[in-house]
């Protein structure tokens, strides 16, 4: 099974392309979920409330199986699709690409829009550093307070990334582990007394 994918290292913002008076501003963000994309898109809409369009595409998942394309009022297929095609051309996933357009008074026609959204998306991704990452799986583990050292050293051994640690009556940890290690960790945790876990 494939456990690696290509994505962008960090956000890229404000990549400007001009065409016949219209301004196209590109933004690219690494994302891990649909909630991430909604949050980033809302942020851009707040930053550019007077923009004519906020068109976007994203790919999520190891093979980009979860994706969305949005023309935001531009003619169908003239914005979201050329943006999405650049995600494919650069072979990246877990990426949101937004192109904000300020209309400059001259209509570009469908062909002109396709060309300019493609150029804008391409220019934005070319600013990004593309990196290879290992696929991660989220795990939630519940255990007794006295077991926390054992659990932490296990997670440490597997290079897990802890995102939440809660010490109520029973302790609870949420962490990201490498998907390639999922079976190994399952086997070890299954044999531990009074430890429950689930993959989210």
Task: Convert 54-66 into a string of H (helix), E (strand) and C (coil).
Answer: EEEEEEECCCCCE
How does DSSP classify residue 109?
A: H
Distance between CA atoms of residues 172 and 149, nearest Å: 13
Domain with CATH 3.30.70.240 in the chain: 135-199
Residue with tokens 């290079």, as numbered in its chain: 159
pLDDT higher than 70, residue 188: yes
Helix, strand, or coil here: 186? helix
Average pLDDT over residues 7-32: 96
pLDDT digits (tens, 9 = 90+) for 35-83: 899 999 999 999 999 999 999 999 998 888 899 999 999 999 999 999 9
The residue-averaged pLDDT of 118-135 equals 96
| Residue 63: predicted pLDDT | 82
Nearest Cα to Cα of residue 71 among 99, 93, 51, 92: 99
Mean pLDDT score of the chain: 95
Q: Which pLDDT value is given to residue 135?
A: 84
Residue 67 bridge partners (DSSP): 59
Which CATH architecture is the domain 4-132 placed in? 2-Layer Sandwich (3.30)
End-to-end distance of the chain based on CA atoms, in angstroms? Answer: 20
- pLDDT digits over 149-182, tens only? 999 999 999 999 999 999 887 899 999 999 999 9
- Where does CATH 3.30.230.30 sit in the chain? 4-132
- The yes-or-no verdict on residue 102 having pLDDT over 80 is yes
pLDDT exceeds 70 at position 144: yes
Give the tens place of pLDDT for each residue, 88-98: 999 999 999 99
Task: Assign a CATH topology to domain 135-199.
Answer: Alpha-Beta Plaits (3.30.70)
Q: What is the pLDDT confidence band of residue 1, given thresholds at 50, 70 and 90?
A: low
Backbone angles phi, psi at 6, to 5 degrees: -100, 140
């Amino acid at each position: 099974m494939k456990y690696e994918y290509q994505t962008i290292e960090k956000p890229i913002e404000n990549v400007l392309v001009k065409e016949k008076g219209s301004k196209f501003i590109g933004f690219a963000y690494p994302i891990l979920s649909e909630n991430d994309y909604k949050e980033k898109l809302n942020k851009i809409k707040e930053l550019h409330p007077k923009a004519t369009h906020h068109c976007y595409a994203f790919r999520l998942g190891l093979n980009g199986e979860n994706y969305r394309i949005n023309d935001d009022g531009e003619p169908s297929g003239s914005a979201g699709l050329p943006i999405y095609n650049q995600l494919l051309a650069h072979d990246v996933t877990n990426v949101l690409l937004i192109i904000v357009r300020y209309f400059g008074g001259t209509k570009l026609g469908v062909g002109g829009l396709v060309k300019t959204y493609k150029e804008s998306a391409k220019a934005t991704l070319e600013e990004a550093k593309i990196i290879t990452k290992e696929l991660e799986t989220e795990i939630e583990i519940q255990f007794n307070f006295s077991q926390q050292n054992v659990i932490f050293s296990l997670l440490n051994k597997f290079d897990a990334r802890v995102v939440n640690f809660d010490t109520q009556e029973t302790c609870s940890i949420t962490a990201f582990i490498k998907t390639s290690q999922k079976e190994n960790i399952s086997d070890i945790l299954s044999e531990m007394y009074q430890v429950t876990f689930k993959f989210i």
